[in-house]
């Protein structure tokens, strides 16, 4: 009879060799099934990214052969030769700073509201979520009509309520706030994520507060907000990234006007690429955006240590 | 095992289907028709569904005439420049296509387009002399980017019934009798009526309550009157933009004043409530329309009693020309056949329906001078009202001035700087002089020179 160790060793070697062929097969199958996703990423995302990085350092104008010009495109962006770069950055930042906090707050309170036991809950949740699946171009056309200063529904309502009318998207100063307002219509997606986050909070925390004599405000400040802070954090980051990439509204509704008041960054990029045929330059513009968003995301992550509580971690 | 086999066959069938769908149409095998090698040309263009039908017909007629050349037509209804740019990047540019003049000249400089002078200087039928003036676009000395496929000119369109009811004389059709600006303004004032029945000439006029405007125009035509004032958007020495020239500023300010001072024209915001030009004239929202002759198609089909006159003049009677060029891509594999189709396109006979409908104007001189040819298009109703031959046709031939966009390099970028400045002008917040002086430095920084006129 073999010793226990010998048997164990033999079992190990047997299992290793027979397992290795199974494991090899599983390995191969794993790669095979992951291949479409990996290939898709490499061919359609990573490859073009590298190409765009290379093109951003050339003077590519689509039909001509690209000539390497180093960082000249980037220099032209930052040293002020381009009349629109800083303006479009400013407009986009203005929009992001205005829209993201508003969207978070509105979505959060909507989620809280829809977390209560109210009649027709499913209906309301659907109703608030539905706008997010309407194609943006279609809704932009409808909003164009609503914003019409003379006949649009919004000004008609303002007139009826004896409130001051607004020029909405037709005035340089009100165009970005108007677009922010328009973005609040599609806040349903963020709201649904908040709902999921809210559902994660165990009821006994709320009961504890009730026992301690707290009211709804205490519940909000001391339980709801801290425990949904990871969700708030996620939505803030997504909101920032999305806000920087707004394109359809300026393209369909304002064409960057009035007087460059809605010259959003991606619209400016699109114009450089396709109207002015400056493809290489447009690639440089795209990479600058990448770095800007990366910076903001990094900053958000750093500050998140202070206010985001993950359950299971110590303070 | 059977299920596995089934799955594998399903997957491979899907894959093959995908690959087959993704592969490009390959009709490359050499065939001969009539002993000649078969050639396939791609012809792309913009336009409405009506124009699409006409273009397809032209392509078919060409292949009937030259059976070994097949012309495939590609209709691009929207985002034309974006689509073409992408096709160029994929090396799949169509062989022949029209393009906006600004992009056309830019692309020619960048090497995307064929130098048509190669053909033009050898061709017996199509020469600079057989064409109307200003028809050829040069991007450099002896380098032709394109030739206008149809000409476009501006005129004064009006609703004749409104004039009769107001008891006002109709706008003149001959250049010698063109209205002065003041005469034009006077008429416009009498035809601008507010909801209380007061016209713009009366002191009780309420500009915020206008029922009917005397005139309308597209604000991107801010430079319409500049040639008439004896100047140009480009400085005489061709070394910068003419944004400080008092004549230039005056010509543009007069257009702006129609909106902001005299209130006879709707502002861009008010224009949003006014329908398309032909409908606006028909529904009596406006009495006159400073517009391109292409509106005659819609005006003719509306059944309305409309007329055309020469534009009002400042110093001299002129009209601004706007026709877009047809071009051949530099990557075409069959330049000779492409040139044959090109000439076919430029011949007004090929698309005679569109010329007769009022939408297109020919580019060959004989169609403006030979009476037998003139009556095939310029007098055909309802697309051509009485007086068209004087107001538009003769005016194009004798007093036509090309828009500055034919000669300004980097004009798209410069327009992107100038146009936002105009947003303030149309609102009446700035004068043209203020707006121009503010952007003059930035716009001139983008001034990269001019294209030759011949």
Give dist(CA A267, CA A286) in Å, integer: 11
CATH 3.40.190.10 is right for the domain spanning B32-152+323-346: yes
Give A277 to chain B, closest Cα distance, Å. Answer: 8
- The confidence score (pLDDT) of residue B328 equals 95
Q: Strands across the sheet with B193-194, in order?
A: B193-194, B210-217, B286-292, B154-159, B306-309
Tokens of B150: 């149809």
**With an 8 Å Cβ cutoff, are A63 and B273 in contact?**
no
3-state secondary structure (DSSP) of residue B24: coil
Distance from the Cα of residue A140 to its chain's centroid: 19
B275 touches chain A (CB under 8 A): no
3-state secondary structure (DSSP) of residue B26: coil
Chain A residue numbers touching B445 (CB-CB < 8 A): 81, 83
Q: For an interface test with A, which of B101, B272, B444 has the most A Cβ atoms less than 10 Å from its Cβ?
A: B272
Give A293 to chain B, closest Cα distance, Å. Answer: 26
List the one residue out of B105, B99, B139, B143 whose CA is nearest residue B121. Answer: B143
A191 in Cβ contact with A269 (< 8 Å): no
List the single residue in B81, B330, B420 with the smallest CB-CB distance to A257.
B420
Number of Cβ within 10 Å of residue B165's Cβ equals 10
With a cut of 70, say whether residue A12 has pLDDT above it: no
B139 in Cβ contact with B318 (< 8 Å): no
Give dist(CA B222, CA B323) in Å, integer: 17
- The confidence score (pLDDT) of residue A17 equals 57
Give dist(CA B127, CA B310) in Å, integer: 29
Chain A residue numbers touching B273 (CB-CB < 8 A): 148, 150-151
Band of pLDDT at residue A18, cut at 50, 70 and 90: low
| H-only helix segments in chain A | 4-41, 47-55, 72-78, 85-113, 121-129, 136-146, 153-160, 175-183, 188-199, 203-212, 216-218, 225-227, 229-244, 248-249, 265-270, 279-307
Q: Which residue has 């024209």 as its token pair?
A: B265
Residue B378 per-residue DSSP state: T
List the single residue in B81, B330, B331 with the smallest CB-CB distance to A275.
B81
Distance from the Cα of residue A152 to its chain's centroid: 30
Q: From B111, which residue of chain A is nearest by alpha-carbon distance?
A: A64
Chain B residue numbers touching A62 (CB-CB < 8 A): 85, 88-89, 110, 112
* Sign (positive or negative) of CA dihedral B196, B200, B202, B206: positive
**With an 8 Å Cβ cutoff, are B269 and A62 in contact?**
no
Give dist(CA B135, CA B143) in Å, integer: 14
* Residues with Cβ within 8 Å of residue B236, at least 6 apart in sequence: B242
Q: From A251, which residue of chain B is nearest by alpha-carbon distance?
A: B79
B405 in Cβ contact with B321 (< 8 Å): no
**With an 8 Å Cβ cutoff, are A259 and B420 in contact?**
yes
Residue B156 host element (H or E): strand B154-159
**With an 8 Å Cβ cutoff, are B88 and A62 in contact?**
yes
Chain A residue numbers touching B93 (CB-CB < 8 A): 63
- The confidence score (pLDDT) of residue A85 equals 94
- The confidence score (pLDDT) of residue A19 equals 67
Q: Which domains does chain A have, with CATH numbers?
A: 83-307 (1.10.3720.10)
Residue A148 per-residue DSSP state: -
Chain B residue numbers touching A257 (CB-CB < 8 A): 419-420, 423
With a cut of 50, say whether residue A261 has pLDDT above it: yes
- The confidence score (pLDDT) of residue A11 equals 61
Chain B residue numbers touching A256 (CB-CB < 8 A): 420
List the one residue out of B330, B406, B405 whose CA is nearest residue B118. Answer: B330
**With an 8 Å Cβ cutoff, are B89 and A62 in contact?**
yes
List the one residue out of A254, A190, A259, A197 whose CA is nearest residue A226. Answer: A197
Residue A101 per-residue DSSP state: H
- The confidence score (pLDDT) of residue A315 equals 47
List the single residue in A64, A258, A276 with the smallest CB-CB distance to B413.
A276
Number of Cβ within 10 Å of residue A164's Cβ equals 7
Q: Say how many CA atoms lie within 13 Å of B388 toward its Cβ.
A: 27
Per-residue pLDDT of chain B (454 residues; tens, 9 = 90+): 788 888 888 888 888 888 876 665 555 555 676 677 889 999 999 988 888 999 999 999 999 999 999 999 999 998 899 999 999 988 899 999 999 999 999 999 988 999 999 999 899 888 889 999 999 999 999 999 999 999 999 999 999 999 999 999 999 999 999 999 999 999 999 999 988 888 888 888 888 888 899 999 999 899 999 999 999 999 989 899 999 999 999 999 999 999 999 999 998 888 877 888 889 999 999 999 999 999 998 898 888 999 999 999 999 999 999 999 999 999 999 999 999 999 999 998 888 988 998 899 999 999 999 999 999 999 988 889 988 999 999 999 999 999 999 999 999 899 999 988 898 899 888 999 999 999 999 899 989 999 998 7
Between A and B, how many CB-CB pairs are < 8 A?
Answer: 67
B100 touches chain A (CB under 8 A): no
Q: From A80, which residue of chain B is nearest by alpha-carbon distance?
A: B442
Give A152 to chain B, closest Cα distance, Å. Answer: 10
B positions 107-136 inside 8 Å of A (CB):
107, 110-112
Q: φ, ψ for residue B211 (rounded to 5)?
A: -90, -35
**With an 8 Å Cβ cutoff, are B273 and A277 in contact?**
no
Q: Say how many CA atoms lie within 13 Å of A95 toward its Cβ.
A: 32
Chain B residue numbers touching A170 (CB-CB < 8 A): 268-269
**With an 8 Å Cβ cutoff, are A62 and B270 in contact?**
no
List the single residue in A62, A81, A84 with the smallest CB-CB distance to B85.
A62
List the single residue in B106, B270, B423 with the smallest CB-CB distance to A258.
B423
B positions 135-174 inside 8 Å of A (CB):
none
Give dist(CA A48, CA A59) in Å, integer: 17
Q: From B410, which residue of chain A is nearest by alpha-carbon distance?
A: A276
Tokens of B101: 């003049």
- Domains B32-152+323-346 and B154-320+402-445 alike in fold: yes
Q: From B83, which residue of chain A is nearest by alpha-carbon distance?
A: A274
- The confidence score (pLDDT) of residue B159 equals 94
* Residues with Cβ within 8 Å of residue B281, at least 6 apart in sequence: B157, B158, B159, B287, B289, B299, B302, B304, B306
Give B395 to chain A, closest Cα distance, Å. Answer: 32
Chain A residue numbers touching B101 (CB-CB < 8 A): none
**With an 8 Å Cβ cutoff, are A62 and B417 in contact?**
no
May I ask the CATH architecture of the domain B154-320+402-445?
3-Layer(aba) Sandwich (3.40)
CA A74 to each of CA A62, A80, A285: distance values in angstroms, whole numbers, following the listed order: 19, 11, 8
Tokens of B130: 């057989």
Give A48 to chain B, closest Cα distance, Å. Answer: 14
List the one residue out of B414, B205, B427, B160 whose CA is nearest residue A149. Answer: B427
* Residues with Cβ within 8 Å of residue B225, at least 6 apart in sequence: B181, B251, B252, B254, B255, B311, B314
List the single residue in B269, B272, B412 with the smallest CB-CB distance to A275.
B412
Q: For an interface test with B, which of A59, A62, A152, A154 has the most B Cβ atoms less than 10 Å from its Cβ?
A: A62
Tokens of A258: 């009035």
Identify the bridge partners of residue B213 per DSSP, sorted by sequence position. Answer: B286
Residues in chain B: 454
Mean pLDDT of chain A: 89
Band of pLDDT at residue A2, cut at 50, 70 and 90: low
**With an 8 Å Cβ cutoff, are A84 and B272 in contact?**
no
Give dist(CA A292, CA B384) in Å, integer: 57
Chain B residue numbers touching A148 (CB-CB < 8 A): 272-273
Q: φ, ψ for residue B155 (rounded to 5)?
A: -150, 180
Q: What is the pTM of this model?
A: 0.83
Give dist(CA B225, CA B217) in Å, integer: 12
Number of Cβ within 10 Å of residue B71's Cβ equals 25
With a cut of 90, say whether residue A226 has pLDDT above it: no
B positions 172-191 inside 8 Å of A (CB):
none
B266 in Cβ contact with B211 (< 8 Å): no
Give dist(CA B375, CA B389) in Å, integer: 10
Chain A residues with CB-CB distance to B under 8 A?
Answer: 61-64, 81, 83-84, 148-151, 167, 170, 172, 256-260, 271, 273-277, 279
Distance from the Cα of residue A77 to its chain's centroid: 25
B215 in Cβ contact with B258 (< 8 Å): yes
Written as one string, the DSSP assignment of B67-112 is TTEEEEEEE--S-HHHHHHHHHHTT---SEEE--HHHHHHHHHTT-
* Residues with Cβ within 8 Å of residue A96, at least 6 apart in sequence: A239, A240, A243, A244
Give dist(CA A95, CA A88) in Å, integer: 11
CA A211 to each of CA A198, A214, A220, A228, B328: distance values in angstroms, whole numbers, following the listed order: 21, 7, 15, 22, 82
Break chain B into its structural domains and give their ranges: 32-152+323-346, 154-320+402-445
B positions 327-366 inside 8 Å of A (CB):
330-331
CA B64 to each of CA A216, B19, B60, B126, B349: distance values in angstroms, whole numbers, following the listed order: 82, 35, 6, 21, 15
Chain B residue numbers touching A81 (CB-CB < 8 A): 445
């Amino acid at each position: 009879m073999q010793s226990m160790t010998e048997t164990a060793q033999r079992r190990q070697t047997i299992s290793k060799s027979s397992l290795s062929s199974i494991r090899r097969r599983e390995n191969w199958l794993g790669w095979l099934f992951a291949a479409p996703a990996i290939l898709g990423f490499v061919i359609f995302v990573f490859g073009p990214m590298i190409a765009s990085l290379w093109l951003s350092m050339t003077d590519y104008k689509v039909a001509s052969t690209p000539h390497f010009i180093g960082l000249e495109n980037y220099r032209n962006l930052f040293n002020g030769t381009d009349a629109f770069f800083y303006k479009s950055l400013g407009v986009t930042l203005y929009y992001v700073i205005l829209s993201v906090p508003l969207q978070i707050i509105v979505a959060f309170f909507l989620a809280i509201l829809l977390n209560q036991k109210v009649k027709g809950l499913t209906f309301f949740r659907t109703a608030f979520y539905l706008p997010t699946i309407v194609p943006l171009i279609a809704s932009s056309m409808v909003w164009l009509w609503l914003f019409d200063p003379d006949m649009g529904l919004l000004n008609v309502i303002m007139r009826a309520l004896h409130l001051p009318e607004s020029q909405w998207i037709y005035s340089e100063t009100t165009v970005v706030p108007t677009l922010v307002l328009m973005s609040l219509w599609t806040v349903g997606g963020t709201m649904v994520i908040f709902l999921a986050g809210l559902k994660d909070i165990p009821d006994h925390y709320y009961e504890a507060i009730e026992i301690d004599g707290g009211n709804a405000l205490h519940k909000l400040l001391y339980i709801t907000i801290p425990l949904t802070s990871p969700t708030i954090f996620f939505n803030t980051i997504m909101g920032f990234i999305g806000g920087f990439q707004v394109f359809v509204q300026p393209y369909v509704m304002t064409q960057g006007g009035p007087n460059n008041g809605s010259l959003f960054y991606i619209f400016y990029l699109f114009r450089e690429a396709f109207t002015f045929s400056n493809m290489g330059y447009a690639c440089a513009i795209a990479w600058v955006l990448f770095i800007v968003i990366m910076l903001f995301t990094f900053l958000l992550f750093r500050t998140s240590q202070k206010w985001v509580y993950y359950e299971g971690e110590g303070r | 095992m059977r299920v596995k086999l089934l799955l594998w066959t399903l997957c491979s069938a899907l894959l093959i289907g995908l690959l087959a769908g993704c592969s490009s149409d390959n009709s490359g095998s050499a065939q001969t028709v009539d002993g000649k090698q078969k050639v396939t040309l791609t012809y792309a263009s913009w336009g409405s569904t009506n124009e699409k039908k006409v273009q397809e017909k032209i392509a078919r007629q060409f292949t009937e005439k030259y059976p070994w050349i097949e012309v495939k037509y590609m209709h691009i209804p929207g985002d034309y420049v974006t689509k073409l740019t992408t096709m160029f990047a994929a090396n799949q540019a169509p062989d022949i296509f029209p393009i906006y003049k600004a992009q056309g000249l830019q692309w020619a400089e960048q090497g995307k387009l064929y130098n048509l002078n190669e053909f033009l200087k050898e061709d017996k039928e199509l020469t600079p002399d057989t064409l109307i003036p200003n028809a050829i676009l040069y991007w450099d000395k002896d380098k032709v980017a394109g030739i206008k496929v149809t000409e476009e000119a501006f005129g004064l369109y009006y609703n004749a019934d409104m004039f009769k009811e107001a008891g006002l004389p109709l706008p003149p059709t001959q250049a010698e009798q063109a209205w002065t600006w003041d005469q034009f303004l006077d008429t416009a004032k009498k035809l601008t009526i507010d909801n209380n029945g007061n016209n713009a000439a009366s002191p009780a006029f309420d500009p915020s309550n206008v029922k009917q405007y005397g005139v309308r125009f597209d604000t991107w035509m801010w430079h319409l009157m500049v040639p008439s004032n004896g100047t140009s958007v480009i400085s005489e020495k061709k070394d910068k933009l003419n944004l400080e020239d008092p004549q230039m500023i005056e010509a543009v300010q007069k257009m702006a004043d129609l909106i902001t001072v005299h209130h006879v024209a709707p502002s861009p915001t008010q224009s949003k409530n006014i329908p398309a030009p032909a409908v606006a004239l028909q529904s009596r929202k406006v009495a006159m329309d400073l517009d391109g002759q292409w509106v005659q198609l819609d005006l003719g089909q509306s059944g309305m009693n409309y007329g055309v006159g020469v534009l009002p003049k400042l110093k001299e009677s002129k009209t601004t020309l706007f026709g877009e060029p047809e071009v051949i891509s530099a990557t075409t594999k069959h330049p000779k056949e492409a040139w044959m189709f090109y000439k076919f396109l430029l011949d007004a006979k090929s698309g005679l329906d569109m010329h007769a409908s009022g939408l297109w104007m020919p580019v060959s001189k004989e169609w403006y001078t030979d009476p037998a040819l003139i009556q095939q298009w310029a007098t055909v109703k309802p697309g051509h009202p009485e007086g068209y031959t004087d107001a538009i046709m003769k005016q194009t031939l004798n007093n036509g001035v090309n828009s500055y966009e034919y000669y300004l390099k980097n004009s798209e970028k410069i327009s992107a700087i100038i146009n936002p400045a105009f947003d303030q002008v149309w609102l009446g917040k700035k004068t043209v002089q203020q707006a121009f002086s503010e952007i003059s430095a930035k716009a001139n920084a983008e001034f990269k020179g001019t294209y030759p006129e011949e």
